[in-house]
Structure 1
């Protein structure tokens, strides 16, 4: 399944790369795991509820999350990562 990033998420990750390289490497590692084995326990993949009920979350570490949603266009399925941040930042 093809993955893409929203402009907002790209900005968040580009800023992270400049300001916190070790955390950015964790993001890269978790994205690789996500690509290879979606049910890997370290991802703590789960569907959200409430206002974000169409969205999903993976954990980067104990504090940081990366949110995404599934998208279908022209019979092509994919996912869009749209938000990165701490638990409090992404779930508000």
Structure 2
């Protein structure tokens, strides 16, 4: 699976605490094997984010992504649960 990272995602990722970055990297490995692994709690988004999906890094942080095709994904944003509000 090819994963592309938006510049917004890259900026947000750089600002994360080191412990969250490490967890995010582990979750990305799981994601690459099965993006719907129950550990990720992957779900479709609604409203202004219709067409996007999200998975949990931990209880506090989420990654918003777009499934381009069965082999390509764009990671658009990473942040606390409030990251959804930034897309309003």
Report 1:25-64 matches (<5 A): 25-64=22-61
Q: Which has the larger radius of gyration?
A: 1
Instruction: Give the ranges of 4+ consecutive aligned residues of structure 1 lying more than 6 Å apart after TM superposition.
Output: none
Cα separation, 2, equivalents of 1:34 and 1:63: 18
Deviation at 1:77, TM superposition (A): 4.9
Q: CA RMSD in A?
A: 1.5
TM-score w.r.t. the length of structure 1 is 0.84
Cα separation, 2, equivalents of 1:37 and 1:50: 25
Which sections of structure 2, spanning at least 5 residues, go unmatched?
Answer: none
